[in-house]
Amino acid sequence: MKLNNLLLMAVLLAVFACGPQQKKSSDTNGKETAEAPDDKMEWWRDARFGMFIHWGLYAIPAGEYNGNKTEGIGEWIMNNEQIPIKEYEKYAAQFNPEKFDAEEWVSILKDAGMKYIVITSKHHDGFCLWDSKVTEYDVMDASPFKRDILAELAEACKKEGIRFGLYHSIMDWHHPQAQAIWEPNYNKGGNDTVANPEFPQYFQNYLKPQVAELMDNYPTEILWFDGEWIPAYTTEMGKELYQFIMEKDPQMIVNNRVDKGRQGMSGFNAEGDFAGDFGTPEQEIPDTGVEGVDWESCMTMNDTWGYKYFDDNWKSEETLIRNLIDIASKGGNFLLNVGPKADGAFPQASIDRLKAMGDWMDKYSESIYGTTSSPFARPDWGRYTQKDNRVYAHVFDWPEDKKLVVDASAKIAKAWLLDDGSKNPLEVGMNGGNVTVSVPENAPDEVASVIVLEIED
């Protein structure tokens, strides 16, 4: 590794020095133990690509309330448009997504190359997508739909070998003991929220029992918390909740928003002792990964998580595919969001983009699954990933002179185009002091072509 990279790494380690995501697989003597809890992350790291789903009552207004098109994210409409609880509750009686087909959702995400799903069991609005025993404000008791959405999805995932995860909001705008003092003092979600003095009762008698339900009744393998920044929620509660989960299932993978260490949207933890297994950059990709720290960038395809019918600011297929590569090249996972419509269908624009990603993954997924960041300096033409003795060169900008300049420290035994079944070797040589790989005139893939570099031992 070049010195300036080492320096950069040192700076980043200092900045991102993270309590929770640091490896827990070794005891204080640094010995790896057979029951190393860190092993639970292996499947998750190998997966690299998952689907986030934000679905709930907010899909009904779909971004518009009383003729006003909300500027904010769709699932925040209750807060941002100051919809009174009793008004918002009425959406539950309208929630009847007749087109919902769990098997179709799962087949779409599987075809995209995704390996896991994280769906909102409950978002900040408090409405639950399963038959919770501690509330009537759920799809079984308050809506005409009366189907257990989580159960149907979990079943479809099991059939297709997709791992099942749940997003569960700590903040709750509906529960009387969790709301900040509601009306007329609005702006509940932001930093100036007033703590509800009864929040500890909500935590013990509502939030924890709900988490237990989600663990006991569904094959949940990821718990993805959010809304942890409200002042009523404490780091003691975060650690207690994490411990509670670990006692029930030490294999559960829990994001760092279970505790209070997260530094804003960058998603990595401040220095200190915080619970949680991975960092959660939101709508951003860090400049580089951090050795020994697991992380996952979550992102929308347009500008909202929950469906907004008028949000047409869709990212291009190229951007989405290159984001996946960029994230994998830095050792992270990509959790890409879909906000289904109130009728249960995915927006067509989401389906189209997932199809394009799947087509790319059909050719190149070997360069994503189970890979890590590579020791090579980031090239200006694209990104590298690595698995064992193979470095994958993801070329965004195909060289006009048909000579791809690779890292000077690369000792390449053999190189070939990943989507060329023949594995015909590409010529490796030197050009003006650079190590180069000779490539054909035209890029095999417009978005990102992959060249395998087999590295000498």
For residue 377, the tally of other CB atoms under 10 A from its CB is: 15
Taking the least distance from each CB to ligand H79, the nearer of 176 and 190 is 190
Residue 212 corresponds to which amino acid? A
CA distance 136 to 143: 10
Taking the least distance from each CB to ligand H79, the nearer of 250 and 264 is 264
Q: Which residues bind ligand H79 (CB under 6 A)?
A: 54, 73, 75-76, 190-191, 226, 229, 264-265, 282, 298, 305
CA distance 433 to 426: 19
Handedness of CA 376, 379, 384, 389 (dihedral sign): negative
Nearest residue to ligand H79 by CB is: 229
CA distance 296 to 353: 20
Report yes or no: 215 and 253 within 8 Å, Cβ to Cβ: no
Taking the least distance from each CB to ligand H79, the nearer of 124 and 383 is 124
Taking the least distance from each CB to ligand H79, the nearer of 257 and 330 is 257
Q: Work out how close the CB of 455 gets to ligand H79 at its nearest, in angstroms, rounded to a whole number.
A: 38
CA distance 49 to 207: 28
Taking the least distance from each CB to ligand H79, the nearer of 148 and 226 is 226
Question: What is the full DSSP assignment across 161-221?
Answer: T-EEEEEEES--SSSTTTS-S-SSS---SSTTPPPPTTHHHHIIIIIHHHHHHHHHHS-EE
Residue 340 corresponds to which amino acid? P
Q: Work out how close the CB of 215 gets to ligand H79 at its nearest, in angstroms, rounded to a whole number.
A: 21
CA distance 176 to 196: 9
Residue 116 corresponds to which amino acid? Y
Taking the least distance from each CB to ligand H79, the nearer of 52 and 346 is 52
Contacts of 140 (CB under 8 A, 6+ apart): 130, 131, 146, 147, 148
Which long-range contacts (C-beta less than 8 Å, at least 24 apart) are formed by 374-377? 374/329, 375/1, 375/409, 376/406, 376/407, 376/409, 376/410, 377/2, 377/5, 377/407
Taking the least distance from each CB to ligand H79, the nearer of 189 and 444 is 189
Q: Work out how close the CB of 285 gets to ligand H79 at its nearest, in angstroms, rounded to a whole number.
A: 15
Residue 137 corresponds to which amino acid? Y
Q: Work out how close the CB of 257 gets to ligand H79 at its nearest, in angstroms, rounded to a whole number.
A: 9
Taking the least distance from each CB to ligand H79, the nearer of 180 and 439 is 180
Q: Work out how close the CB of 185 gets to ligand H79 at its nearest, in angstroms, rounded to a whole number.
A: 16
Q: Work out how close the CB of 5 gets to ligand H79 at its nearest, in angstroms, rounded to a whole number.
A: 30
Taking the least distance from each CB to ligand H79, the nearer of 197 and 264 is 264
Report yes or no: 394 and 367 within 8 Å, Cβ to Cβ: yes
CA dihedral 408→410→414→420, nearest 10 degrees, is: -80
Q: Work out how close the CB of 295 gets to ligand H79 at its nearest, in angstroms, rounded to a whole number.
A: 14
Taking the least distance from each CB to ligand H79, the nearer of 171 and 450 is 171
Q: Residue 44 is inside which H or E element, if any?
A: helix 42-47
Q: Work out how close the CB of 151 gets to ligand H79 at its nearest, in angstroms, rounded to a whole number.
A: 22
Q: Work out how close the CB of 337 gets to ligand H79 at its nearest, in angstroms, rounded to a whole number.
A: 8
Q: Work out how close the CB of 34 gets to ligand H79 at its nearest, in angstroms, rounded to a whole number.
A: 35
